[in-house]
Structure 1
């Protein structure tokens, strides 16, 4: 479909990057990010109707100043797709919702309750994937069902399948990234949203009467309003599935493309967490999220008016040469520097330890142990996306 570029604010205060196209961002955003950083790290991009922020310094500043850069954006695509979740709230409202998540997702609970679940699911879906034989797609055949089943169990959707969560997640996050305003995308997102509402409504009385260790039980019994429960669960279905799924695929793709680094990790399993962190830096699964200015402010050489809609481009910040040496390369031996793949400040990703544990501690070592000689297949791997980015296909072979 043809989309009309968004009109620029009257008091723009920044260069206009009218050469940026959504389809190019989807295919390969990194050349675009390099040019934007070089020309202006804060630029108005008509194609997406917001200022894109592409330098590490500016993105980090935004995360540390919630008073100036609000998460509660007007006209939010995420609100339209999923409802008003904690990701689009500022404190103190944000903290009220987030507090209910703590007991379920903190490292102690991950270790004592959920690591065993991750291990069981890894064994099941690795066995299924191995049975498919060499040439199978690791992204769809292992990473996606593994991440989806882990999330289904953590969230407590006993009345849904992992296939349901995959469908819900993809269609709703397509809505949050629907900058082209495609009506078919909105229709699919709305249908999944309604299914999630129905599943939650069915479980609320069950979990009120008989609480368990799941996330849905925690938020129900924390006394959150039903609309907050629904919105936060939809937000979690989106990021909680795509982040571990996509970093798992990216890490495998990176290691198989760099045999010397793979050999390093196989010789020293203590490096699996390092391989994970470099993968999530190299290709940030959540590549961009919005903020809105509450006052006029100078940022990255631009003079932004109050109410300016920003895109905080983590996918660009994590490849900023001012922060990382040779940032376009996957290199697990690089100097350790902080990245922004899990956000920062009060909105630091609540599911960080789920991703780190399920992927770095469980899935990656078991995958390479179960499939000796794992390597890329003859059919090429593909990745895509910019608001969310990850593998689309990852065909592999093994001995």
Structure 2
């Protein structure tokens, strides 16, 4: 058991807004055991950046972890050669070249179709009526699960990530997660013999991955490829609508949609943390870690580390975000980063603000979550 100082949180308050508690941890106990989460949190950027790469100590291999138990042992829960082999098998579906040459046009067609339906309405919930279906359409294409509806894709992704963040052990959350994974397996079975070209299903099948690995990696792509782009699309739109001066910078070409995406991912990281398990005894910053200790690398806290970012709680698209690590920094760097940047910054956001002139907020925008964070609703009008 680690000898890290204890730092207690109110789980409800942490889910509502984790940033005040994380700021206190960075100041008072940057490596702290949080009993309510049963894990030791690393909250400073440099500690996370350095220790994430030390897979011999902070291992992703967690056969008893929530993700492995609920979704199967995917490549994110493997290290070394095993991880790299499955990453190479999946890469042809997610490479920057495939995204640019194959998926971008798919993303644009789906976004324009959705906006065709929305434009005459004059108002909508941007989360459920735009960000969700745009992300789901992209993910249906990338996974190759062409029989799945957009609503199904959003639901199974949410229920899986809820399950993976179910550190309080809610049985209803676990049951919904099991139902979601069963539905995904049924769609994999339906599409397996003739998967769409370039899809994650097709490239893994062609690489000859074992069926259990293929299934687990499809679930991984869904868990990270639906809710996070959905939350980022809606969240960045909210950030720009509440900072009209910065939206004006983008409209004038002084800054870019990619700048807005990078700054938002630093400021309100859609993926707030990544779990690790201690594989062998070690110490970091004077704190002892023992085998079996659970560790959370808090990417959300790294993005607001005062040692690297001036006014870290402010949204500023002119900021140099080079030190931020919202996609990770080690061998587990997000495999879908190129697809996410394309979908969000090259397609969904520019089309949204182009096709819905006069877009404005039309009500409060609540946020929730700490392991995964985003707006739960966003009423807008135009």
TM-score for the superposition, normalised by structure 2:
0.97
Select which of 351, 368, 371 maps to 1:387. Answer: 371
How many angstroms does 1:130 deviate by? 2.5
Select which of 88, 101, 110 maps to 2:99. Answer: 110
Counterpart residue number, 1:161: 149
Could you say if the C-alpha distance between residues 256 and 349 of structure 1 is closer, same or farther in structure 2, counting changes exceeding 3 Å? same
Q: Is the 8 A contact 1:73 1:309 kept in 2?
A: no
Greater shift, 95-104 or 72-81, is seen at 72-81
How many angstroms does 1:164 deviate by? 1.3
CA RMSD of aligned residues (A): 1.4
Q: Which runs of 5+ in 1 are unaligned?
A: 1-8
Q: Which runs of 5+ in 2 are unaligned?
A: none
- Supply the distance in 2 between the matched residues of 1:52 and 1:251 (Cα, whole angstroms): 27
Q: Does 1:227 align with 2:212?
A: yes
- Supply the distance in 2 between the matched residues of 1:335 and 1:187 (Cα, whole angstroms): 43
Greater shift, 196-205 or 88-97, is seen at 196-205
Counterpart residue number, 1:3: none
Q: Does 1:79 align with 2:68?
A: yes
Counterpart residue number, 1:38: 27
Q: Does 1:184 align with 2:168?
A: no
- Supply the distance in 1 between the matched residues of 2:379 and 2:184 (Cα, whole angstroms): 32
- Supply the distance in 2 between the matched residues of 1:248 and 1:79 (Cα, whole angstroms): 28
Q: Is the 8 A contact 1:247 1:390 kept in 2?
A: yes
* CA shift digits 1:129-159 (9 cap, x unpaired): 334322x210111001100011101111122
- Supply the distance in 2 between the matched residues of 1:364 and 1:176 (Cα, whole angstroms): 29
- Supply the distance in 2 between the matched residues of 1:306 and 1:183 (Cα, whole angstroms): 28
Greater shift, 267-276 or 58-67, is seen at 267-276
How many angstroms does 1:269 deviate by? 7.2
Greater shift, 329-338 or 249-258, is seen at 329-338
Q: Does 1:322 align with 2:307?
A: yes
SS at match of 1:292: strand
- Supply the distance in 2 between the matched residues of 1:125 and 1:177 (Cα, whole angstroms): 31
TM-score for the superposition, normalised by structure 1:
0.93
SS at match of 2:161: helix
Could you say if the C-alpha distance between residues 300 and 249 of structure 1 is closer, same or farther in structure 2, counting changes exceeding 3 Å? farther
Counterpart residue number, 2:274: 289
Q: Does 1:13 align with 2:11?
A: no
- Supply the distance in 2 between the matched residues of 1:342 and 1:164 (Cα, whole angstroms): 26
- Supply the distance in 2 between the matched residues of 1:300 and 1:326 (Cα, whole angstroms): 25
Q: Is the 8 A contact 2:68 2:77 kept in 1?
A: yes
How many angstroms does 1:202 deviate by? 2.3
Q: How does 1:20-31 map to 2 (within 5 A)?
A: 20-31=9-20
- Supply the distance in 1 between the matched residues of 2:345 and 2:197 (Cα, whole angstroms): 27
Q: Is the 8 A contact 1:282 1:329 kept in 2?
A: yes
Greater shift, 278-287 or 303-312, is seen at 303-312
- Supply the distance in 1 between the matched residues of 2:288 and 2:321 (Cα, whole angstroms): 33
How many angstroms does 1:338 deviate by? 2.4
Select which of 312, 315, 318 maps to 2:297. Answer: 312
Counterpart residue number, 2:112: 123
Counterpart residue number, 1:5: none
Counterpart residue number, 1:252: 237
* CA shift digits 1:96-130 (9 cap, x unpaired): 11111111111111111111011101101122233
- Supply the distance in 1 between the matched residues of 2:119 and 2:256 (Cα, whole angstroms): 25
Q: Is the 8 A contact 2:63 2:73 kept in 1?
A: no
Q: Is the 8 A contact 1:138 1:395 kept in 2?
A: yes
Number of residue pairs matched?
382
